[in-house]
Chain A
Amino acid sequence: MDLSYSDEQKALQEGVERFVREKYVFDTRRKIAASERGWLPDNWAQFAELGWLGMSFSEDDGGLGGGALETSILMEQFGKGLVLEPFLPTVVLGGGLLAAGGSAAQKQALLAPMIEGKKQFALAWLERQSRYNLADVSLKATKEGAGWSLSGHKGVVYNAASADTIFVLARTSGGARDEKGLTLFAVDGKAKGLSRRDYPTQDSLRASELTLDKVSVGADAVVGAVDGAFPLVEGTVDRAIVALCAEAVGCMDAINAATLEYIKTRKQFGVPIGKFQVLQHRMVDCFTNAQEARSMALMAALKIDDADATVRAKAASGAKVQIGKSGKFCGQSAVQMHGGMGVTDELSVSHYFKRLTMIDLMFGNQQHHLTRYSNLAMAA
């Protein structure tokens, strides 16, 4: 057993660390967040140039042959800098769906240019009633000649405004929450009949509500099998959860470091407030929480390619439970220990806190994944 990074992985980590240090000073991030797209094309071009966009795809797919661990290395540093570029929706979700379920033609048309930095993606699965159930989908796709017609609503679709292709999960048969009967469609971001309401999110990302009104797509827009998209989407979302966990670990490290620095320098009653035992113990709990989160995120990255589907799902859910718990503890504690300054927009602390909070809500919160894990783990 060896849990240390290879030389290539270390080099990747150093590279992305350097990028965050140089390109994601907090004031720069503020400007990027306020810009029209909410992310910088120059940064994206650099991601492509450095090979990060293809890092975790097989060489057959035009990637560099890395895996979940490489994704986690990138995401952890993105978390440290609260990076806004849409790596998760484009590379992990969109790219992941294509790699796992795309045809050779789809990979060539979409995945290859994505790896070159020329295409952006989004995944539209959530609907108003879905909560965290990936199968709770009512947007309908009906046969129309050789192709399909899609109508319905999708919500909180991250990166939809920038996406060249939006992967839309639709119901082609079955009842309201049946896992069977779901089909994934690659829909052009500018398709006729597709309208968007764009908005920023609490954590300075961009998302949209989508309305599809008889959007026509060809038969070649189907990704994977008709009626059989659920395992593809679930598996890809589980991989995205692992990536999110790594991002959260980066957030926790950064927020803990900022808090530690603050309690060492902020003086009250004539001493740094870090001299007070009540804060010392809380700070120790923050570090312990971040350590557990790091361990679980690593465990999940190592198991997410396991041959056994149950092992993969348990790994993702288990890590997400830990990240929800630790993220909340570190975030709330950092704000508390910063006092009034912790609830201001001015310091980065509140922004890490917001991101950690939204990470818990993405793809199922702590409670949801505890239930999912317990169902998987206790099943006879």
Chain B
Amino acid sequence: MDLAFTPEERAFADEVRAYVRANLPADVRDKVASGKHLTRDDHMRWQQALGRKGWLVYTWPKKHGGPGFTPAQRYIFENVCAEENAPGIVPFGTKMVGPVIYTFASDELKQKHLPSIREGKMWWCQGYSEPGSGSDLASLRTRAERQGDHYVVNGSKTWNTLGHWADWIFCLVRTDPKAKPQEGISFLLIDMKTPGITVKPIVMVDGGHEVNEIFFDNVKVPVTNLVGKEGEGWTYAKFLLANERLGIAAVPQSKRGVEALKDIARAELDGGKPLIENTGFREKIADLELQVTALEYTELRVLSAMAQGDAPGAEASGLKIRGSEIQQRITELTLEAVGEYAAPYLPGLLWQGSNEAPVGPEYAHLAAPRYFNTRKTTIYGGSNEIQKGIISKMVLGL
């Protein structure tokens, strides 16, 4: 056991930092640093820059065209990217459907989709939850009926993130309504340009549009777009969710968030002195920083176990729980630091990138929307109540 990085690992960190500095567009970096929202093109420019280096799919093994990073390299890569204010990698293609495709799909689908995911040329989105099926995902009802060499898909999906920017969607659909809930589900890839698909925005608590409801009205999908076997979709979905829970801890982002919070607490005044000198408040920040440290070392232990060949299992659920709570706590303390200047709501500045000056400092107008929006982290990807259920069952045997 050794906590220190090897000379090779330190050299790798330098290599990553040099590449990020040379290839991350400055305007994108500045937007991330100041907490502004990114456009589709902003994401694409960065992802394709990583794609050119083969690092966009940094979690993939070599045999599927990934870089085959060790856990230490992954950790270094994620941290350096966050420190350099690179945007988070959109996970739908790279971390979600990609591994499902290379693990379970036909050679035809692998050849068709893996290269464009590696290069960051296609935008993927996820079709899992439905209005009636959230925590109880296996009750989903979107129907895919086999007709000759096509499936005809009818139904709706919700909480679809950034589907309005997507080229493709991966969907859980019901192919056998007579089978047990989990056994009648299949995993289908659908081109978003297919006739019969409607994307309807859902306005969020902060007034923004990032998620959608997606309607399928007699959408014809070639049967060759089925991943693996019909009726096996639930197995693939669980595989995907386990992967999703791993990245969801967002340790590097939270480390950056704590530093940003400290900067705000240094800039804000309290009785004529920097707020960070207020004992009560600085101890709250210290407590948060320690929570992040505990999370980071838990994630390192999981990564280390994975390097020994263990699949990410129930321990990863714990990461999601704490990671999401910590993300929320950061926004809570940031809001507290900003105080009454969090009140002004400037949607033009927030969402349309207008040039109007913020009221107060720039970080102030983001504080409340972030706090409100980040409530989603304990809900999405399997709510924390569901995650705790998994741990109590799978780990504690209750």
In the bound complex, residues from chain B placing their C-beta under 8 Å from that of A100 are none
Q: Which of A108-116, A224-232, A300-308, A361-369 contacts B (4 or more CB under 8 A)?
A: A361-369
Contact with B along A261-273 (1 / 0, CB 8 A): 0000001111001
Question: B390 within 8 Å of A by Cβ?
Answer: no
Question: B48 within 8 Å of A by Cβ?
Answer: no
Docked-complex contact B204 and A345, CB < 8 angstroms: yes
In the bound complex, residues from chain B placing their C-beta under 8 Å from that of A258 are none
Question: B380 within 8 Å of A by Cβ?
Answer: yes
In the bound complex, residues from chain A placing their C-beta under 8 Å from that of B379 are 335-336, 339-340, 342-343
- Chain A residue at minimal CB-CB distance from B383: A339
Partner of A343, one of B281, B372, B388: B372
Question: B397 within 8 Å of A by Cβ?
Answer: no
- Chain B residue at minimal CB-CB distance from A133: B271
Question: B149 within 8 Å of A by Cβ?
Answer: no
Docked-complex contact B159 and A340, CB < 8 angstroms: yes
In the bound complex, residues from chain B placing their C-beta under 8 Å from that of A132 are 339-340
Question: B345 within 8 Å of A by Cβ?
Answer: yes
* Contact residues of B between 250 and 290, Cβ < 8 Å to A: 268-272, 275, 280-281
Partner of A126, one of B159, B340, B345, B375: B340
Q: Which of B31-39, B128-136, B222-230 contacts A (4 or more CB under 8 A)?
A: B128-136
For the complex, give the distance between the alpha carbons of A362 and B343 in Å. 9
Q: Give 16 A-B contacts (CB < 8 Å), ordered by A residue.
A: A128-B360, A132-B340, A155-B340, A156-B359, A199-B345, A199-B346, A209-B359, A269-B139, A340-B380, A343-B204, A344-B204, A345-B203, A358-B368, A361-B342, A362-B340, A365-B336
Minimum CB–CB distance for B320 against chain A, Å: 14
Partner of A268, one of B139, B369, B373: B139
Question: B25 within 8 Å of A by Cβ?
Answer: no
Q: A197-B359, A268-B139, A357-B335 known; A346 and B202 CB under 8 Å?
A: yes
Contact with B along A119-133 (1 / 0, CB 8 A): 000000010110111
For the complex, give the distance between the alpha carbons of A132 and B338 in Å. 11
- Chain B residue at minimal CB-CB distance from A354: B372
User: Top 9 closest A-B pairs, CB basis?
Assistant: A268-B136, A350-B205, A345-B203, A201-B343, A129-B269, A202-B368, A269-B136, A335-B375, A202-B345
- Chain B residue at minimal CB-CB distance from A199: B344
Contact with B along A145-188 (1 / 0, CB 8 A): 00000000001100000000000000000001100000000000
In the bound complex, residues from chain B placing their C-beta under 8 Å from that of A176 are 272
Docked-complex contact A268 and B371, CB < 8 angstroms: no
In the bound complex, residues from chain B placing their C-beta under 8 Å from that of A279 are 385
For the complex, give the distance between the alpha carbons of A199 and B345 in Å. 7
In the bound complex, residues from chain B placing their C-beta under 8 Å from that of A378 are none
Q: A128-B341, A361-B339 known; A155 and B359 CB under 8 Å?
A: yes
For the complex, give the distance between the alpha carbons of A336 and B383 in Å. 8
**Chain A at the B interface: mostly helix, strand, loop or mixed?**
mixed
Question: B376 within 8 Å of A by Cβ?
Answer: yes
- Chain B residue at minimal CB-CB distance from A175: B272
Binding site for B on A (CB under 8 A): 126, 128-129, 131-133, 136, 155-156, 176-177, 197, 199-203, 207, 209, 267-270, 273, 276, 278-279, 332, 335-336, 339-340, 342-346, 350, 353-354, 357-358, 361-362, 365, 367, 371
Q: A131-B269, A350-B205 known; A278 and B385 CB under 8 Å?
A: yes
Contact with A along B338-377 (1 / 0, CB 8 A): 0111111110000000000001100000001101110110
Docked-complex contact A156 and B205, CB < 8 angstroms: no
Partner of A350, one of B280, B345, B372: B372
- Chain B residue at minimal CB-CB distance from A370: B280
In the bound complex, residues from chain A placing their C-beta under 8 Å from that of B270 are 131, 133
For the complex, give the distance between the alpha carbons of A342 and B340 in Å. 24
For the complex, give the distance between the alpha carbons of A165 and B272 in Å. 30
For the complex, give the distance between the alpha carbons of A336 and B376 in Å. 8
Docked-complex contact B205 and A343, CB < 8 angstroms: yes
In the bound complex, residues from chain A placing their C-beta under 8 Å from that of B360 are 128, 155
Question: B195 within 8 Å of A by Cβ?
Answer: no
- Chain A residue at minimal CB-CB distance from B384: A336
In the bound complex, residues from chain A placing their C-beta under 8 Å from that of B340 are 126, 131-132, 155-156, 361-362
Question: B175 within 8 Å of A by Cβ?
Answer: no
For the complex, give the distance between the alpha carbons of A225 and B207 in Å. 45
Q: A332-B375, A335-B205, A361-B342 are in contact. List 4 more A-B contacts (CB 8 A).
A: A155-B360, A339-B379, A342-B205, A345-B203
For the complex, give the distance between the alpha carbons of A157 and B202 in Å. 32
Minimum CB–CB distance for A344 against chain B, Å: 6
For the complex, give the distance between the alpha carbons of A101 and B11 in Å. 71
Question: B378 within 8 Å of A by Cβ?
Answer: yes
Contact with A along B380-393 (1 / 0, CB 8 A): 10011100100000
Contact with A along B202-220 (1 / 0, CB 8 A): 1111010001000000000
Docked-complex contact B135 and A339, CB < 8 angstroms: yes
- Chain A residue at minimal CB-CB distance from B207: A345
In the bound complex, residues from chain B placing their C-beta under 8 Å from that of A350 are 205, 372
Question: B186 within 8 Å of A by Cβ?
Answer: no
For the complex, give the distance between the alpha carbons of A270 and B341 in Å. 45
Docked-complex contact B345 and A371, CB < 8 angstroms: no
Minimum CB–CB distance for A203 against chain B, Å: 8
In the bound complex, residues from chain A placing their C-beta under 8 Å from that of B202 are 344, 346
For the complex, give the distance between the alpha carbons of A132 and B341 in Å. 11
Docked-complex contact A202 and B359, CB < 8 angstroms: no
Minimum CB–CB distance for B382 against chain A, Å: 11
Question: B317 within 8 Å of A by Cβ?
Answer: no
Partner of B341, one of A155, A332, A346: A155
For the complex, give the distance between the alpha carbons of A185 and B204 in Å. 41
Docked-complex contact B281 and A367, CB < 8 angstroms: yes
Question: B94 within 8 Å of A by Cβ?
Answer: no
In the bound complex, residues from chain A placing their C-beta under 8 Å from that of B373 are 343
Question: B158 within 8 Å of A by Cβ?
Answer: yes
Partner of A336, one of B346, B369, B378: B378
Minimum CB–CB distance for A177 against chain B, Å: 6
For the complex, give the distance between the alpha carbons of A156 and B345 in Å. 11
In the bound complex, residues from chain A placing their C-beta under 8 Å from that of B372 are 202, 343, 350, 353-354, 357
In the bound complex, residues from chain A placing their C-beta under 8 Å from that of B346 are 199
- Chain A residue at minimal CB-CB distance from B342: A361
Docked-complex contact A367 and B359, CB < 8 angstroms: no
For the complex, give the distance between the alpha carbons of A91 and B155 in Å. 52
Q: A131-B339, A197-B359, A279-B385 known; A268 and B134 CB under 8 Å?
A: yes
In the bound complex, residues from chain B placing their C-beta under 8 Å from that of A126 are 340
In the bound complex, residues from chain B placing their C-beta under 8 Å from that of A268 are 133-136, 139
Partner of A361, one of B335, B359, B376, B384: B335
In the bound complex, residues from chain A placing their C-beta under 8 Å from that of B385 are 276, 278-279
